[in-house]
Amino acid sequence: MPHDPIDSIDYKQAGVDIAAGEKAVKAIKAKVRTTYSNNVLSELGSFGGLFRLDKAAWEHPVLVASTDGVGTKILVAIAAHRFDSVGQDLVNHCVNDILVQGAVPQFFLDYIGVGALDPIIIEQIIDGFVLACRENECALIGGEMAEMPGLYKVGDFDLAGTIVGMVDESQILPRAGIAANDVVLGLPSTGLHTNGYSLARKVLFEKMSLKVSSVLDDLGESLGDALLRVHKSYLKELKPFLQNPHLHALAHITGGGIAGNLSRVIPSGLQAQIKLAESEIPALFQIIRKGGNVQDDVMRQSFNLGIGMIAVCAPDLAMEICASCNARIMGSIEQTSSPQKVRYV
């Protein structure tokens, strides 16, 4: 029985605007192409991204893949109506996750889920992906934009990304050479990076009644600017050291803090002894700790406390990494019979 056209419903009325999606893709195609190398064999919009392995560059190539998101940092971006940095956050986080295994990124794929597709906002997010992919010499070969009004509210969105990198099998980190008297180096973060935002928002916005526009003397900038600082990529700084046999391990300091992540690369029978003075913890973390009366153990578990990456190396390499990467000595590796792999001293 034919339907009355007056009563018919199309996809746009159901909350999905196909035309807006096509407009967003057209707006970003040329920008995405700027991330391509000669190894990219497909165009944006294909069913899958094609990437050719450069066999001449690797003796025994091993693929390293990782998937991650940005978490509730997105809610800060929405509150500040700033969408230029969260795409960078996602790419850089994923780059760091494979960097700690010695891998150099090859290509990246993104996922954007939205309540209602706004081509202008999507373009700003993609601009962040493109900028970070270019900085990390990583091709953005594909992605997905999903408009799901029944799942996300209008104005809401979520991000996820997958990265694939390459490392020669002989250069995989951590190396077997971690030993007592190795030096533990901390590379500074740019802020919270992409972890601890649920606790930070609870303290700053609910308990302290601050806004993203609030300017705090201790920060010297608005709270929104401080919270939306881009998650730093450590690839350029550390790439020259990846094949140095005296670099024994790297740890990306994300959820779980310094102890939770560094313990993942410390062998049994050894312990990293860490010194982190109160004066070395940046102001933003101090504001959260004091404003929420957050206990030290919770702060250490929830935040990077100003250290975004840790390197474990032989003593003779420590000063070179410190000078090149603006790193500082945080402690040393010692023998132990304790199952605790990281201890604050």
Please state which architecture CATH assigns to domain 7-171.
2-Layer Sandwich (3.30)
Alpha helices per DSSP H over 3-156 = 18-33, 73-80, 86-99, 119-135
Tokens 């998101």 locate to 69
Longest dimension (CA), the chain: 83
> pTM for the whole thing?
0.92
pLDDT in tens, 290-335: 999 999 999 999 999 999 999 999 999 999 999 999 999 999 999 9
Domain pair 7-171 / 183-344, same fold: no
CA distance 92 to 96: 6
- Nearest CA to 124 out of 83, 89, 171 is that of 83
Mean pLDDT of 335-344: 96
171: CB partners within 8 A, 6+ apart? 102, 242, 243
Tokens of 15: 């909350």
pLDDT in tens, 55-88: 888 999 999 999 999 999 999 999 999 999 999 9
Is 296 exposed, middle or buried, given 0-12, 13-18 or 19+ CB atoms closer than 10 A? exposed
Give how far Cα 283 sits from Cα of 89, 252, 288, 294, Å.
21, 21, 9, 14
pLDDT in tens, 110-148: 999 999 989 899 999 999 999 999 999 999 999 999 999
On the question of pLDDT at 14 being above 60, the answer is no
Q: At what angle do helices 18-33 and 119-135 cross, to 10 degrees?
A: 20
Residue 26: the pLDDT is 72
> Would you identify the CATH topology of the domain 183-344?
Phosphoribosyl-aminoimidazole Synthetase; Chain A, domain 2 (3.90.650)
Domain ranges of the chain: 7-171, 183-344
Count CB neighbours of 333 within 10 A. Answer: 23
Residue 28: the pLDDT is 81
CB 111 within 8 A of CB 105: no
pLDDT in tens, 22-39: 666 677 888 999 999 999
